[in-house]
């Protein structure tokens, strides 16, 4: 956003807010130079503030996630799971598991998130 004023001030409140936001550093901004202890403190503080800001409802007795389908493929299997984070809500997701991976033979995981817009 640009301004015609010589002192670089904005006549619109939108411009003023945008200028202010560009100059602000969020209280919980991530810093790649965090030590492990600083990272844990940042993570805890951010979690507390996000819970307060998001006003998540206290929901109890929700069902555990369920594996609804398994399809074997060459070298891996695909599991379709459903999670129930809120009453009346279901979140489906897929898990691709290489052959030989089980509770006794663990490997690293990769989480991919994709939002499909309709």
Residue 4 lies in a domain: no
pLDDT in tens, 40-83: 999 999 999 998 888 877 888 889 999 999 999 999 999 999 99
Domain assignment present for 8: no
Does residue 36 fall inside a structural domain?
yes
Q: Is residue 23 located within the same domain as residue 48? A: yes
Residue 19 covered by a domain: yes
Kindly state whether residues 50 and 78 are assigned to the same domain.
Answer: no
pTM: 0.50
Its domain, for residue 67, covers 61-118
How does DSSP classify residue 28? T
* Cβ atoms 108, 97 nearer than 8 A: no
Tell me: do 47 and 68 sit in the same domain.
no
Q: Which of 113, 56, 115 is nearest to 86 (CA)?
A: 56
The reply to whether 72 and 112 lie within a common domain is yes
pLDDT at 2 over 90: no
Name the percent of the chain lying above pLDDT 90.
Answer: 39
Q: What percent of the chain has pLDDT over 70?
A: 90
């Amino acid at each position: 956003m640009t301004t015609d004023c010589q002192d670089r001030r904005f006549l619109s409140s939108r411009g003023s807010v945008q200028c202010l936001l560009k100059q602000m550093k969020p209280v919980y901004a991530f810093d790649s130079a965090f030590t492990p202890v600083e990272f844990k403190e940042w993570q805890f503080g951010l979690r507390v503030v996000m819970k307060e800001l998001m006003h998540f409802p206290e929901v109890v007795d929700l069902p555990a996630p369920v594996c609804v389908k398994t399809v074997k493929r060459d070298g891996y299997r695909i599991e379709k799971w459903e999670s129930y984070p809120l009453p009346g809500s279901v979140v489906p997701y897929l898990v691709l598991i290489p052959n030989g991976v089980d509770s006794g033979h663990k490997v690293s995981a990769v989480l991919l998130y994709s939002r499909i817009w309709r």
